[in-house]
Amino acid sequence: MRARMVQRIAAQGVADAQVLAALGAVERHRFVDSALVNQAYEDTSLPIGLGQTISKPSVVARMVELLLGGARDAQGRLGRVLEIGTGCGYQAAVLSRVATEVYSIERLRGLHEKAQGNLRPLRLANVHLLFGDGMAGFAKGAPYAGIIAAAGGEAVPAAWIEQLAPGGRIVAPSQMPGGTQALVVLEKTAGGLQRSVLEAVHFVPLKSGIA
């Protein structure tokens, strides 16, 4: 079922071999509630509690592929990555296979603890789970080769831009005029920030503080 999911995502246009391999390796059914296991490999978002969802596999693949379009090391891997919104931990597990190090921050304690429980059996030494306000980023881990967000606001927080390494990318949903959301890529170049607005998406709103 997981292999078929990867084939469908490849057919939709995701071409990066590292991304497809990561999706094929990470068992998505381990990150959803037992009642939803039979839907784990469908291309759909699923509830994970506290009003949050696990993103569609195709959206995870698309965003990680965009992140990998930035600066990579000699082995073709991303360096250190910051994930805003750990959720159930699925995307962090995917990122662990394409980045040297992953810092993932979650503002909801219940989800932070759920992600810890989901990821513990995988023993991913390069994933660090943090409980805190994602809008502030995580300065101690900076600079980041990539920052990826699972929630969208009207503007990308200044802290994320400050914590991004030269040549790095931020991939995040952003609110557009009229209230819709679109996927936005910000790239830090020598000449300043380059902003690309891509397809429409639907993510939970970006919020500050912890709960």
pLDDT digits (tens, 9 = 90+) for 38-74: 999 999 999 999 989 999 999 999 999 999 987 677 7
pLDDT at 71: 67
**Res. 210 pLDDT band, cuts 50 70 90:** very high
2-205: CATH, from 3.40.50.150, 3.40.1280.10, 1.10.340.30, 3.90.1300.10 = 3.40.50.150
Alpha helices in the chain (DSSP H): 2-11, 17-25, 57-67, 90-95, 109-119, 158-163
Asked whether residue 178 carries a pLDDT value surpassing 90, the answer given is: no
Q: Calculate the average pLDDT of the chain.
A: 95
pLDDT at 70: 73
pLDDT at 75: 76
Q: Name the catalytic one among 34, 55, 96, 104.
A: 55
pLDDT at 179: 83
| Span 87-110, average pLDDT | 97
pTM of this prediction exceeds 0.85: yes
Q: What distance in Å separates the CA atoms of residue 136 and residue 4, rounded to the nearest whole number?
A: 38
| Span 6-29, average pLDDT | 97
The answer to whether 174 is a known catalytic residue is: no
Q: What distance in Å separates the CA atoms of residue 61 and residue 65, rounded to the nearest whole number?
A: 6
pLDDT per residue over 119-155, tens digit each? 999 999 999 999 999 999 999 999 999 999 999 888 8
Q: What distance in Å separates the CA atoms of residue 150 and residue 176, rounded to the nearest whole number?
A: 16
Asked whether residue 36 carries a pLDDT value surpassing 80, the answer given is: yes
Q: What distance in Å separates the CA atoms of residue 146 and residue 160, rounded to the nearest whole number?
A: 10
Looking at residue 190, what DSSP letter applies?
Answer: T
**Res. 77 pLDDT band, cuts 50 70 90:** confident
Give the percent of the chain with pLDDT over 90.
89
**Res. 177 pLDDT band, cuts 50 70 90:** confident
pLDDT per residue over 182-195, tens digit each? 999 999 999 999 99
- According to DSSP, the β-strands at 164-175 and 144-149 are parallel
Q: Amino acid identity, residue 69?
A: G
Q: Give the number of other Cβ atoms within 10 Å of residue 76's Cβ.
A: 11
Strand partners, 146: 81, 169
Asked whether residue 198 carries a pLDDT value surpassing 80, the answer given is: yes
- Dihedral sign for Cα 153, 57, 164, 103, please: positive
**Helix/strand/coil for 13:** coil
Q: Cα 199–187–115 angle (5° rounding)?
A: 70
